Amino acid sequence: MSAINERPHPGDLLSHAFELINARGSDYDNVSNIEQNFREIAAVASVVIGKPLTARDVALVMTCVKLIRGKSATEKLDNYVDGMNYMAFAACFAGLVPIPPLGSKPVAVKLAEVGKEAVS
């Protein structure tokens, strides 16, 4: 990624987001199934708030957390990058794109193929 004093290109941020998913994923017990991790969070949060939540709901709530943090801490790149990752997880949990195994190499996906089943 670009040096701290340079303004990164948006593509650099996406690459950085991908790197973080892989680097942070190895820190969690169920790295092989990120959706299961979000389902477990949803189960606990459902008990706390008294309404059922899904893995996608949790990813969207975490996106909201990052949006608010980005508003109050505009200089922290982490908020923007994490927000992108949570939105990517939400799309995966909605079935729009496959969930790649953590630690995998990036694979080019044609935009025309993303969400193709949802459109048909």
Tokens of residue 28, six digits? 């969690």
Q: What is the DSSP string of 9-42?
A: PHHHHHHHHHHHHHHHHTTSTTTT-HHHHHHHHH
Q: What are the extents of the domains in the chain? A: 33-119
The pLDDT of residue 61 is above 90:
yes
At 4-54, the pLDDT tens digits run 557 667 788 888 888 887 777 666 555 567 788 889 999 999 999 999 999
At 74-114, the pLDDT tens digits run 989 889 999 999 999 999 999 998 876 665 565 555 555 55
pLDDT attached to residue 15: 86
